[in-house]
Structure 1
């Protein structure tokens, strides 16, 4: 199984990118022992369309264009489900046990996700009730992917 973070926009160099990269690296290393072959980042440019609906549609096409057959799509959305870290880990592990080849985590642009992406989602996931900047959302998601792996491996990182 492979995890891919598909994001609209690019993360600039700095402390937040360093933290994101640290969690991605930890996830890659921890994932190897769990049968996770890669944790990849795929950044796509923001649409330059004038109207928000057109931007969302353009970005939806970009996000869905690279989606392989059999992949599960997890869409970060403010109206999505709030899962605990153990429940999130269980969901990822269940997909792995089902033989799902890839889980794609989609973070949309500033206007949110287009209807096509939302309707295709296998899981709409919220990172809590608050609104987060997309750069911080990336860090939180990378940390939760790493945390899910530590839960699966029995590592003491996740304490309750």
Structure 2
């Protein structure tokens, strides 16, 4: 299985880069992982809704250029479906059985995802109704994908 993370912006903090690298290494046993960072747009503090929509649209174009037509797309959204780790494992396994060999997870920038990206999404996933920094979300997502593969393979994981 091929897993691609398409994310907006770069991770600046070393400890987060180290955590991403660690989970990327661990996931190498289970899948081919690719992490693609697209440039983020500067967002001024007092941006209007129109300005924010334009920013989401620009970032969305960059994101969608990285998504292949045959890919199954999972967007991370506050309003998405909240599931357990076991349910994520089951979803990954079912997608593989259905012949979906390429899954793309999309993490938007600080003001979210544009409507074009949301329309391309096959599944909206939420980790919480709380807002997390998008850089930290990358680590959390990779950990859950790793946990999912451990569950699928009947390997121990911390409950």
TM (norm. structure 1) is: 0.90
Pairing of 1:3-152 with structure 2 (within 5 A): 3-29=3-29, 31=30, 36=31, 38-48=32-42, 51-152=51-152
CA distance in 2, matches of 1:158, 1:53: 40
CA distance in 1, matches of 2:101, 2:66: 14
Match of residue 155 from structure 1: 155
Runs of 4+ in 1 over 3 A off after TM superposition: none
CA distance in 1, matches of 2:39, 2:67: 16
CA distance in 2, matches of 1:61, 1:23: 28
CA distance in 2, matches of 1:101, 1:67: 14
Query: Number of paired residues?
Result: 153
TM (norm. structure 2) is: 0.91
Gaps of 5+ in 1: none
C-alpha RMSD of matched pairs (Å)? 1.4
